[in-house]
Amino acid sequence: MHAEASRQLQLYLQYLETEKRVAENTSTSYQRDLLRFTGFCSEQKLDNWTDVQVNDVRRYIAARHKDGIGSKTIQRELAALRSFYRYLLKTHQLASNPVQHVRAPKAAKKLPKVLDVDQMTGMLNVVPDSILEIRDLAMFELFYSSGLRLSELVKLDTTDIDFAEGYLRVRFGKGGKQRQLPIGKKALEAIKAWLAVRTEVNELALFISAQGRRLTQRSVQLRMDRWGKKNGIAEHLHPHMLRHSFASHLLEASQDIRAVQELLGHSDIATTQIYTHLDFQHLAAIYDKAHPRSRKA
């Protein structure tokens, strides 16, 4: 593509970071998706963004689908393209959006994996045998206690925890949104135990490495995987599984989907409704075991 098209793309990426203040993960994935589409445009001899037509976008999506790319990934790529073209329209750099009505192929919804209450209890009722495991237990308790995203947990500072009132402040939620969350008793005790043994360093981060630096998301993922293997948990443990478990168990006990939506930080309740399907699965399993006309002979 022409140099002007590349310049427009770079200005948009700067706009995402400085004005929209999107999450780092979102900015990185949008950049990757848009650069991939730029390569497609170059192959098709489309030199400017104004040259792209609806059929060009549909050909691109069809090619991605033919290559075995999943519907969810294609939906994200289309979201990146729509956002970019809305920016070009807003800044009067073109007159129409060729992506507006293009849809990704539909895919069957996959329910998130969760641990049941007994599995969660077994995972957390472990006596840590090192300073790092004391830290790890505090992280995992907090994931399950407050339903945090991984990106939110690693950005927490010690000043974000209010021990007297029993809540934490999420300053860097998805889309730059802030929210306040309650912390359970077990999680507060685990955090206090960690702060009592952690190395005194000039670092505000709540969770730090052995070298005294803020933990990365990858480090947390690896530590959780290690924890699961060491304690004989059959499921592959990952941070989002604890967030899913938090939401599923809370909804099952309270039946208050609006409260769960607020705690998770979902802007659209439709995102939270996936957990109603999980709750129904649980009820259906109980029905199959208990109902006289459902039980197998």
In this prediction, residue 283 carries a pLDDT of 53
Instruction: Supply the CATH classification number for the domain 3-90.
Output: 1.10.150.130
Query: Residue 205, SS3?
Result: strand
Domain residues of the chain, as ranges? 3-90, 117-288
Note the pTM of the prediction, 2 decimals.
0.61
In this prediction, residue 278 carries a pLDDT of 59
In this prediction, residue 292 carries a pLDDT of 63
In this prediction, residue 274 carries a pLDDT of 74
* Nearest-angstrom CA–CA distance, 82 and 245: 33
In this prediction, residue 196 carries a pLDDT of 94
**Could you give the C-alpha distances from 10 to 5, 75, 277, in angstroms and in order?**
9, 22, 41
Residue type, position 142, single letter: L
- The sheet with strand 167-170 has its strands ordered as 161-162, 167-170, 179-182
Helix (H) or strand (E) holding 64: helix 54-66
In this prediction, residue 293 carries a pLDDT of 55
Q: Which residue reads 């996936």 in tokens?
A: 274
- Which residues are the active-site residues? 149, 174, 240, 243, 266, 275
In this prediction, residue 190 carries a pLDDT of 96
In this prediction, residue 186 carries a pLDDT of 93
Counting as low any pLDDT under 70, the low residues of the chain are 107-111, 277-297
In this prediction, residue 108 carries a pLDDT of 59
Q: What are the residues whose beta carbons fall under 8 Å from the beta carbon of 230, sequence distance 6 or more?
A: none
Span 28-65, pLDDT tens digits: 888 999 999 999 999 999 999 999 999 999 999 999 98
User: Does domain 117-288 correspond to CATH entry 3.65.10.10?
Assistant: no
DSSP at 171: S
In this prediction, residue 130 carries a pLDDT of 95
- The CA-based diameter of the chain, rounded to the nearest angstrom, is 72
**CA 85, chain centre distance (Å):** 25
